[in-house]
Chain A
């Protein structure tokens, strides 16, 4: 029996699941919270995955590979995604494979003839950032500490992700391209998660990618 790959993304407000069949056919499903509401990662992930599998006429027992975004992004979302992926992987006897949410976003823009910057809302006035020109240098960018925080982004880049949507006015004024909010480039594709995760080192456990340093400081290490 040929086995299929499932992809899970819970690193932003949205919940995404995807199924990639051995013959290359693929589908993906999203739960997109209404403005002002909260993510539904914990209730939507498995429900949507079950539906997606049903839509391709498959069941959980046909899963041969599990891919999941490891962050950076939503603190609880990443935990829900990793726990779900690890549970599924354990049940089918494989190890889950991880993919950076930022690199998965960049993968969606890889076919474009211009550099790209992936920006994910990190809350607390920060963005998680990766550029297609230096994807290994992923970082948390505080917006309040410098006025021209986009300096260092490749010239003429297209900016994608929920962080780009939130800062579209500033980025556009600075000469960058920001697609309209409904453009799928802003969305982490669970199918791309499956592709991106294929480079995950074999046998390595999936673990969250935080980027931001812990902000708890032991009393003994605090300045007076």
Chain B
């Protein structure tokens, strides 16, 4: 995969396939920020990434759990959704997410601006844009 990738997908299956292909590039310690409005396909893309890493588990949104871990693939994955937190994780204990940013894992982060200051040094940025219906614009940038 050559970066940046900028393409239009026309179905969740295609969006998922982009995630699977992207996963082949990942190494331990990669941190991927996921940007896009609610319903833009972030969870679908995460499912694709997990499938690409050999993870067969159900992929669910971690909005209320903050983090979901998937351990059985080529690389362990932490999927974070920090929507419920305030910018910089103000007023909360950042220690709760310490393990999720381990250099042994791939960390996928929704709402990255709410991560503890300094904890997140992203290696990829994925931006998803809702184009109506099932169409999505997918932009993947390598930041490292």
Contact = CB atoms under 8 A, between A and B. Distances in A.
A79 B96 contact: yes
Contact of B38 (A13, A39, A76, A216): A216
A38 B37 contact: no
A72 interface: no
Contact of B91 (A40, A43, A123, A214): A123
B83 interface: yes
Nearest to B86: A123
Interface in B114-142: 130
Contact of A76 (B37, B63, B92, B130): B92
Contact of A39 (B85, B92, B98): B92
Given A76-B85, A124-B86, A216-B63, A42 B39 contact: no
A14 B141 CA distance: 41
Nearest to A220: B39
Contacts of B92: 38-39, 74-77
A220 B65 CA distance: 23
A77 B94 CA distance: 10
A163 to B, nearest CB: 13
A8 B65 CA distance: 20
Given A75-B84, A76-B85, A42 B96 contact: yes
Contacts of B90: 123
B39 A39 contact: no
A218 interface: yes
Interface in A204-224: 214, 216-220
B91 A74 contact: yes
Interface string A62-96: 00000000000011110110000000000000000
B111 to A, nearest CB: 10
A41 interface: yes
Contacts of A124: 86
A36 to B, nearest CB: 11
A216 B81 CA distance: 12
B93 A219 contact: no
A13 B91 CA distance: 7
Interface string A102-122: 000000000000000000000
Nearest to A75: B84
Residue from A42, A214, A217 with most neighbouring chain B CB atoms (10 Å): A42
Contacts of B39: 218-220
A-B pairs with the 8 shortest C-beta distances?
A: A42-B95, A219-B39, A76-B92, A39-B93, A41-B93, A76-B96, A42-B96, A42-B93
25 contacts: A13-B91, A38-B91, A38-B92, A38-B94, A40-B93, A41-B96, A42-B93, A42-B96, A43-B93, A74-B93, A76-B85, A76-B93, A76-B96, A77-B93, A79-B65, A80-B96, A124-B86, A216-B38, A217-B38, A218-B39, A219-B37, A219-B38, A219-B39, A219-B40, A219-B130
Interface of B: 37-40, 63, 65-66, 83-86, 89-96, 98, 130
